[in-house]
Amino acid sequence: MAITSYEKDGKTYYRVYIQERSSKDCTVRVQRSKAGIESLAQARREEKKLTKRVFELVASIEAKGITWKELAHRWEMSARNGLAGKKYTRPVIIHHVNTLYIHTDTWLDKRIKDLGRADGRYVINNLISENYSLSRIKAIKGSINKIWTWGVEEGLITDVVKSPVHGLVIESEKNKYKPILTLEEVRKLLYEAEIRKHPWRHIWAVALLTGMRSGELYALTWEDVDFDNNIIRITKSYSSRIKGVKSTKNSEWRNAHISEDLKEVLLKIRKLDPNSENVLPRAAGWRCGNAGKVIRDFLHRIGIEKHITFHTLRACFATHVLASGAEPTQVMKMGGWSDFKTFQIYVRMAGVDVKGVTDDFRVTPKKGIKN
């Protein structure tokens, strides 16, 4: 795709050239061009028209139908040229396409007409087994349905109107028990990671000692750390969607207390790389979403068979700090939870809501009682 300019009779004109090749048949290639366009704005409008026309022609040539990968590619090209029904920013387009490539990888080489409900259930069950949140699973479903609906509207999908995940019900996780690491398992994780010099050891330690989210940890800089007052000021978070730093999840800043254990970890980190602006090392796989896989692999290696995610470390923080006797409202503030209903699951997991309830309830026979 290209817009070029040229001079004729002392005046500037523009030429638009569009080419699209079939990804399943290299002999199928469609080209269209138009010259003599008098303005750049007009050339850009013509580029959009030609792009859409070329895609339609390639689709009509491919008589057997396209694959899921090809549909995703065409949606991406159309979205970049403003032809996907609404305007999408570049980060949003990348986010949707990456979502498809990561979470529907088993679909990529399948023909659209061969995808069915079984394929949809496979994807959803996989996400559930990976402990993705309900909101994240719904977002992934949304991306799939969005591209599928566009394919139907564009005439690229004719056999099946509804996507393989359309209407699949996801069990609510609101009251579902989520497995966490016990206190002994937390200690074993940090001990083994330290003696083996695991590259994620300090990331895991700070996560467990602060309850910070992954993006907040990634964005943490030394200017946020106040050793004099034993406070970390949490004001920002890294977003993989925009590939940059944004505000925290609820757009509010907060403070985290620096305990003696946390101070010891932070001083170790600073000594290792005194010139770094970032508090935590840029561990391999962190930015591309492999944090969960890394910790699961390490836990398996040290004999802890629990299927957890990186976000589970935040749950461990809340549960064990509450169990140690901390005030729930203070734990909420430090961890950045704004909804007490959501936070209640950690109160229940810590047993704080029933602690001491039956201490004075005694009905069993005591020693010395005669029959």
Give the separation between CA 143 and CA 137, rounded to whole angstroms.
10
The residues spanned by each domain of the chain are 1-63, 65-173, 183-350
What is the pLDDT confidence band of residue 67, given thresholds at 50, 70 and 90? confident
Output the CATH code of domain 183-350: 1.10.443.10
Average pLDDT, the chain: 87
Least confident segment among 103-107, 214-218, 263-267, 367-371:
367-371
pLDDT at residue number 171: 65
pLDDT digits (tens, 9 = 90+) for 255-304: 999 999 999 999 999 999 999 999 999 999 898 878 999 999 999 999 99
Q: What's the pTM value of the predicted model, to 2 decimals?
A: 0.61
| 200: nearest Cα among 281, 297, 317, 307 | 281
pLDDT digits (tens, 9 = 90+) for 331-341: 999 999 888 87
DSSP, collapsed to helix, strand or coil, labels residue 214 as helix
What is the pLDDT confidence band of residue 64, given thresholds at 50, 70 and 90? low
DSSP state of 227: T
What is the pLDDT confidence band of residue 90, given thresholds at 50, 70 and 90? confident
Check whether domain 65-173 has CATH 3.40.50, yes or no: no
Per-residue pLDDT for 63 more than 60? no
Q: Cβ contacts of residue 109 below 8 Å, gap of 6+?
A: 67, 68, 69
E-strand stretches of the chain: 2-8, 11-21, 29-37, 225-226, 231-234, 237-239, 244-246, 254-257
Measuring CA to CA, how many Å separate 106 from each of 109, 182, 195, 222, 238? 7, 35, 38, 42, 29
Contact 203, 215 (CB under 8 A): no
